[in-house]
Homo-oligomer: A and B are copies of this chain.
């Protein structure tokens, strides 16, 4: 008998009527003869309310207690969904992270799944019970509740699918699939029927919000048969597949943008070995992810400029850290700019086709858009531009890469 994993996020479990509605969808899946594992997020707004309660209690809450508070959001949804399913005469049992258990490391707030025990849930599935799992949570070796970081329910769903060798993992969301770009910005954005893991991973990492990058990486690692589809409409959605299965795809899959960017420039950094390591090491201590980096060639062979980007939300901490190491490094000054947006063009086709970067740069030049920083991967080109032009950039690139048609 097939095992399927269905994940319902935010707006799909917005309120009680919506929870009852997805109960019906799950019942259909059961009636097809499948064993069903459902993963749910917190109801709309609940997580933010809980975060607010914590913040009002302390500016520096211990992470493990923070997780303890936050995990109740998913706990309530999973129990309510189990209640809704019983009402539809569907046999069920809800599962919290510690009950399965989903064992994580002890990094509260953004823990990593180490192991999922399958015995308990399998026994329940064999008794024809739908397993309704609280997403986003696990349990540490200290027997405390952990959370997987914001949006971690996608990760729970994919990890469950991998652990139970599920036939498929369907991520139900408030959009009907993965688009070539954000349809709110580019009217001509099109839904993709298929996309490769690699492309989806790049899109998610570069700012597309439809799926969590970490969940995509996990799906890729374990070959989980992943789909994104609408909880509100009965449409086929987007399948995330292995490269090679992907005969008919166009050259470029999509264009992502990220507004949560800050650019920092350190001027007059002495050109000595180890200076970059010192700078980025200090930031890493505060878990600040440095993304794009460019080092201008040293004019007098003695000093260089280093420009890099970090999440805008980390800017305050980064500025404090940099001030502390100014003496040690000996740079002249630093400036920061939050009026920047990162635009990324993603497509497996980049591997085999030259000229993609050229199309990008020419298109931006034609529209008088200045590029601050560039970074590339095998299947992606990202540019940092002024946020004044990001909608124009996205529209013109969408058109230039033939995605409008």
- Residues on B with C-beta less than 8 A from A60 are 86-87
| Cα distance, A156 to B173, chains bound together (Å) | 41
Picked from B57, B76, B94, B145, the residue with its CB within 8 Å of the CB of A16 is B57
Mark interface residues in A138-161 (1 if CB within 8 Å of B CB, else 0).
000001110000000000000000
Asked if A58 is an interface residue, CB under 8 A from chain B, the answer is yes
A189-B179 Cα distance, complex, nearest whole Å: 71
In the complex, which residues of chain B have a beta carbon less than 8 angstroms from the beta carbon of A112? none
Stretch in A77-85, A302-310, A318-326 with 4+ CB within 8 Å of B:
A77-85
Looking at chain A's contact residues, is the secondary structure mostly helix, strand, loop, or mixed? Answer: helix
Q: Which residues of chain B have C-beta atoms less than 8 A from A87's C-beta? A: 57-58, 60-61
Q: How far is the CA of A394 from the CA of B275 in the complex (A)?
A: 83
Q: How many copies does the complex hold?
A: 2
B-side contacts of A66, CB under 8 Å? 79, 83
Task: Find residues 36-54 in chain A having any chain B CB closer than 8 Å to their own CB.
Answer: 50, 53-54
B86 A75 Cβ-Cβ under 8 A:
no
Question: Contact at B75–A58, with CB atoms within 8 Å?
Answer: no
CB distance from A287 to the nearest CB of B (A): 20
CA distance A5 to B306 in the complex (A): 58
A62 touching B86, Cβ below 8 Å: yes
* A396 in contact (CB, < 8 A): no
Chain B residues, CB < 8 A from A56: 16
